[in-house]
């Protein structure tokens, strides 16, 4: 009698990112297919302006559970930035469903500027400073947000487009959390650029639907 195939063991495929454990997106996908062969993955290029791409990915399990992830990249960081942004979005959606989250304390993109999909666990020295944001959850204090705040023009534009899209403060905070892992009042200048491009993409989608 043949024995059943062993379940996927993510611990065998961990890599090190700056000395911390991390599970690459390709292994999260293997893990997903091992547990849910019929799961669906949908990706959407939300915005592609200049040399920057923003993707939204949705992973849905046969049970009905689903999660959305966002990913952005630009050519200054990766030559194949479009593919990288899509991979990042898929990775964050998978982590939101539990595929990889046990190997990170929180889904804080760019921890220590590691440019990974979520922050690996630092099993070594001191912990990263945390602060309580408006949702009551402790999150890493963002040096870039402190040192490079968005311009008033950026903030005004974001709120203006959000109003056009009928997004209240709660919806806008949720949008920025999903996109750059920070509430509206905590975003950096670079985050603001990403949020603006994503909002412009939604605005264009809305205008296209009105015209059709």
Q: Is residue 193 part of a domain?
A: yes
Give yes or no: residues 116 and 27 share one domain.
yes
Q: What is the dihedral of CA 154, 149, 73, 106, to 10 degrees?
A: -120
In sequence order, which ranges of 11-80 are alpha helices (DSSP H)? 25-35
> What is the separation, in whole angstroms, between the first and last Cα of the chain?
60
pLDDT of residue 130 exceeding 80 = no
Domain that holds residue 114: 12-125
Bridge partner list, 16: 21
Segment among 13-27, 105-119, 168-182 with least mean pLDDT: 105-119
Give yes or no: residues 41 and 101 share one domain.
yes
What's the number of domains the chain is made of? 2
Give yes or no: residues 173 and 121 share one domain.
no
How confident is the model at residue 199, as a pLDDT? 85
> Which positions ≥6 away from 163 have C-beta within 8 Å?
none
CATH code of residue 59: 3.30.160
Instruction: Give the residue from 38, 29, 6, 24 showing the smallest Cα distance to 97.
Output: 29
pLDDT of residue 110 exceeding 50 = no
How confident is the model at residue 42, as a pLDDT? 95
Tens of pLDDT along 45-75?
A: 998 888 889 999 999 999 999 988 888 888 8
């Amino acid at each position: 009698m043949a024995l059943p195939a062993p379940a996927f063991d993510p611990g065998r495929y961990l890599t090190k990112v700056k000395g911390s454990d991390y599970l690459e997106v390709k292994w999260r996908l293997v893990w997903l297919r091992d547990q849910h062969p019929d799961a669906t993955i949908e990706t959407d290029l939300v915005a592609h302006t200049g040399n920057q791409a923003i993707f939204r990915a949705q992973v849905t399990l046969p049970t009905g559970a689903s999660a959305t992830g966002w990913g952005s990249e630009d050519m200054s960081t990766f030559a194949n930035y479009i593919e990288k942004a899509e991979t990042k979005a898929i990775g964050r959606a998978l982590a939101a469903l539990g595929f990889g989250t046990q190997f990170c304390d929180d889904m804080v993109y760019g921890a220590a500027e590691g440019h990974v999909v979520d922050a690996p666990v630092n099993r070594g020295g001191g912990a990263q400073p945390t602060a309580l944001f408006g949702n009551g959850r402790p999150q890493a204090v963002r040096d870039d947000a402190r040192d490079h705040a968005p311009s008033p023009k950026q903030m005004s534009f974001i709120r203006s487009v959000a109003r056009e899209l009928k997004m209240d403060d709660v919806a806008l905070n949720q949008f920025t959390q999903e996109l750059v892992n920070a509430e509206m009042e905590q975003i950096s200048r670079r985050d603001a650029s990403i949020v603006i491009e994503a909002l412009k993409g939604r605005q264009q989608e809305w205008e296209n639907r009105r015209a059709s």
